[in-house]
Structure 1
Amino acid sequence: MGQPEIVRRLKSYVATRNLPHLLFSGPPGVGKTAAAISIVREIFGEGWRDNFIELNASDERGIDVVRTKVKDFARMAPLGGAEFKVIFLDEADALTSDAQSALRRTMERYSATCRFILSCNYSSKIIEPIQSRCAVYRFRALTPDAIEKRIRYIAEQEGVEVTEDGIEAINYVARGDMRKAINALQAAALISDKVDMNTIYQITSMARPEQIRNLIKMAISGDFAGARNELDDLLLVQGLSGQDVVVQIHREMLDLDVPDADKVRMINRIGEIDFRITEGANERIQLEALIAYMALTGLSKSTAT
């Protein structure tokens, strides 16, 4: 379901004031929380806070929060003549199985006077009984055009100059996450009156895509020393973490113009290196092992150019 279709369906709930239990699923920074608050403000007007509570399930993920805070708020009658109250549970996929089971019973018992809006990154972590009681909306990552439009609007309102390559860099960093895009713009505007590509990559601690591509090409063409020098620049000069470098290598490898068999072999090794670093292995040794594998396994020089 596309974002415009989601907006249309949610507006119909506001128009009819007939709100079911809702489950919003999707990546971070795509508007799940904003959609929930917008619905509540449209329905209840200025007094929306009287009939609304927001809880972050990742902070309070045990069964006690459902038995106390959620249940106590749900059992109270709506204020101001409202038909129901709304409980918004952000990051609901962090709730334990016991807490989700208790939540299911609470949703059943107080459905006449209380509606639940659950937000999560992975709907598969929400138990089936809860999913079956909710209208499920799956949000997708925002398009580069949507992010560019909003960034240009904010920059205009704030009097910030953003270059074309700055917009491209923000889109590269954000990857469909509006929150990350706005944070990058704000941070870059604090250190420079002109937000360009270099400022964005500097403030977000990300390498330029062409630098990562250059590292990969040197490695797979057998230039281990050159690839190692590029790695030194990323880790020691720019101060990137090993995890960030692995993520960017994976991202650029997917777009590299190489035979599929070579790409599959390299991505398989990237996944192994990423797992080792996550488990606590030395980042420097693992990244050098990755570029050594690329140099040993290699590709033909024609595909590396």
Structure 2
Amino acid sequence: MTEAAKMDTDDKPTIKVNKRPSIPDESIQMPWVEKYRPAKLEDLVAHEDIVSILTKLIDSDNLPHLLLYGPPGTGKTSTIVAAAKRMYGSTAAYKTMALELNASDSRGIDVVRNEIKEFAGTRQLFHKGIKLIILDEADAMTSDAQFALRRVIEKHYKNARFCLICNYVSKIIPALQSRCTRFRFAPLQQHQIRSRLLEVADAEKVNYTEDGMNAILNLSGGDMRRVLNLLQSTAMSSEVVNEHTVYMTSGAPLPKDVTIAMDWLMNLEFREAYEKLTNMCTTKGYALTDVLTDFTTLVSELELPAGVMAVLLDGMSKVEHRLAFGTDEKLQAASLVGVFVQARHMMKVA
């Protein structure tokens, strides 16, 4: 082997090769998010303090009403389902003693008055203990339903415990918040996600590279559900999960493209920077919102004067706000370039 060929071989990323299952069965066809959902509290990868407190409360038969809140994919639903199975000891008892409702579907006052009230007010003949009522997406409940639920919680505390799960605790009325013990689920750290990500990849015989795993972690945003969905979709669409295939599957801009675009905005004249930026978004199918999000990270790492940094971040936030309301992307791209031109002018004057 020649020296050049040897160097070329050394530069290639190491691929973890696994033999994929040849005969699919029902478990393989399941979404990996559900297939690998933790069945026990001990299987959860994060929030050790919350898990420890819930375990003590359950083991002492002293579980209060609960309010679990935090960003999506941080383990709120998995935690309470695992806790419920620990309470009742078996899946059959869990199905009998627990009522799980998604409040985004059943969010009206009639559901509270009929289904929830009826379940909470009846006792089971063959199962002793308190019932558990899990209301997922409780922040989607109407105000009337939340006020009606307040009275149901007070009236049936001997028979049932309520667990409200939501993303935005500010949308839960104070009267309900005061009746519950609150637990905040923070976004997961990358080191907490990595072990479960590699475990699932090996269990599913996925061929992957280290940069592919790092790309999934960088795109995760602390959301375990997003991580597993991205891993599954990339594995199904590509032979190898590497950085390129992960970004192509997710539709997120490649880091090198974002760096190049940032260089255009910091150095080129207005017209040339605008044309290059819009051409890149059009030809590669990037959403300006996604590019702007990555720009924010890069700008925050630059060593700029405080006034220039303030102008950049303020201008970028206004562009992002206008994009969120569906304004024209090319017009907002011009506005974004203008923000950087203004910042560069300030630096020259200073």
Q: Distance in 2 between matches of 1:164 and 1:90?
A: 36
**Structure 2: which 5+ runs fail to align?**
1-45
- Map of 1:61 onto structure 2: 107
- Map of 1:10 onto structure 2: 54
CA drift of 1:301 comes to 8.4
Q: Distance in 1 between matches of 2:215 and 2:312?
A: 26
CA distance 1:238–1:222, shift in 2 (3 Å): closer
How many positions carry a matched residue from both structures? 300
Higher mean alpha-carbon deviation, 260-269 vs 85-94, is at 260-269
**Structure 1: which 5+ runs fail to align?**
none
Q: Distance in 1 between matches of 2:109 and 2:292?
A: 37
1:159 and 2:217 matched: no
Equivalent residue for 1:84, pick from 120, 127, 130? 130
Equivalent residue for 1:228, pick from 258, 270, 275? 275
Superposed, which structure 2 residues align to 1:273-292 within 5 Å?
273-292=319-338
Q: Distance in 2 between matches of 1:187 and 1:266?
A: 36
CA distance 1:240–1:82, shift in 2 (3 Å): farther
Please tell me the residue identity of whatever aligns with 2:291.
Answer: V
Higher mean alpha-carbon deviation, 255-264 vs 25-34, is at 255-264
Which secondary structure does the structure 1 equivalent of 2:89 belong to?
Answer: helix
Q: Distance in 1 between matches of 2:107 and 2:296?
A: 33
- Deviations along 1:70-107, whole A, 9 cap, x unmatched? 22221222453231111111111122222211111111
1:25 and 2:72 matched: no
CA distance 1:299–1:207, shift in 2 (3 Å): farther
1:203 and 2:284 matched: no
- Map of 2:5 onto structure 1: none
CA drift of 1:41 comes to 0.7
CA drift of 1:129 comes to 1.4
Q: TM-score, normalised by structure 2?
A: 0.80
Please tell me the residue identity of whatever aligns with 1:243.
Answer: T
CA distance 1:44–1:281, shift in 2 (3 Å): same
**Identical aligned pairs, as a percentage?**
35
CA drift of 1:215 comes to 1.6
Q: Distance in 2 between matches of 1:196 and 1:274?
A: 30
Q: Distance in 1 between matches of 2:297 and 2:102?
A: 31
Equivalent residue for 2:98, pick from 36, 52, 71? 52
CA distance 1:199–1:273, shift in 2 (3 Å): same
CA distance 1:39–1:295, shift in 2 (3 Å): same
CA RMSD of aligned residues (A): 2.1
Equivalent residue for 1:122, pick from 168, 178, 181? 168
**Contact map agreement 1:273 1:286 (CA 8 A) in 2:** yes
- Map of 1:148 onto structure 2: 194
**Contact map agreement 1:74 1:113 (CA 8 A) in 2:** yes
- Map of 2:119 onto structure 1: 73
- Deviations along 1:261-285, whole A, 9 cap, x unmatched? 3222111112211222222311221
**Contact map agreement 1:221 1:300 (CA 8 A) in 2:** no
**Contact map agreement 1:221 1:301 (CA 8 A) in 2:** no
Equivalent residue for 1:272, pick from 306, 318, 323? 318
Please tell me the residue identity of whatever aligns with 1:153.
Answer: E
**Contact map agreement 1:220 1:297 (CA 8 A) in 2:** no
